[in-house]
Amino acid sequence: KAGVTQTPRYLIKTRGQQVTLSCSPISGHRSVSWYQQTPGQGLQFLFEYFSETQRNKGNFPGRFSGRQFSNSRSEMNVSTLELGDSALYLCASSFLLGTDLYNEQFFGPGTRLTVL
């Protein structure tokens, strides 16, 4: 079974630009979550999508948005990039055991975003 894939693996952008990151979950997983990982803050939850609907959202500004497609693939967009957005962006997919009860999240390798 193929794992979670993320593209691109590395990105360099300049302040003010926007960026779109892509995540393909494990086949059969309908829940996709996005995280930002930085050395100082660790992993911080951005949002979670399930069946094309955003179900949960972390404490990030509206510049961070996402969507999920009918095949469960997900994209994350960051507009008006700031220097502080430089981070590893991780996507994780999950198969729900029951209502909102997760067994485990499988993470992709991440997209390393550098904002200059």
Partner 1 sequence: EDQVTQSPEALRLQEGESSSLNCSYTVSGLRGLFWYRQDPGKGPEFLFTLYSAGEEKEKERLKATLTKKESFLHITAPKPEDSATYLCAVQSTGNQFYFGTGTSLTVIP
State both tokens at 60.
């990030």
Question: Considering only residues 20, 73, 75, 106, which one is a binding residue for partner 1 as defined by CB under 8 A?
Answer: 106
Residues within window 43-102 making contact with partner 1, judged by CB under 8 A: 43-45, 48, 55-56, 58, 90, 92, 100-102
State both tokens at 31.
């829940």
Rounded least distance, CB 15 to partner 1, Å = 25
Q: How far apart are CA 40 and CA 76, in angstroms?
A: 22
Closest CB to partner 1 among 75 and 102?
102
SS3 84: helix
Question: Considering only residues 81, 85, 108, 115, which one is a binding residue for partner 1 as defined by CB under 8 A?
Answer: 108
Q: How many residues does the chain have?
A: 116
Q: How far apart are CA 59 and CA 45, in angstroms?
A: 8
Q: Is the distance from CB of 44 to CB of 58 less than 8 angstroms?
A: yes
Closest CB to partner 1 among 82 and 100?
100
Number of residues this chain uses to bind partner 1 (CB under 8 A): 25
Tell me which residues touch partner 1 (CB under 8 A).
4, 33, 35, 41-45, 48, 55-56, 58, 90, 92, 100-110
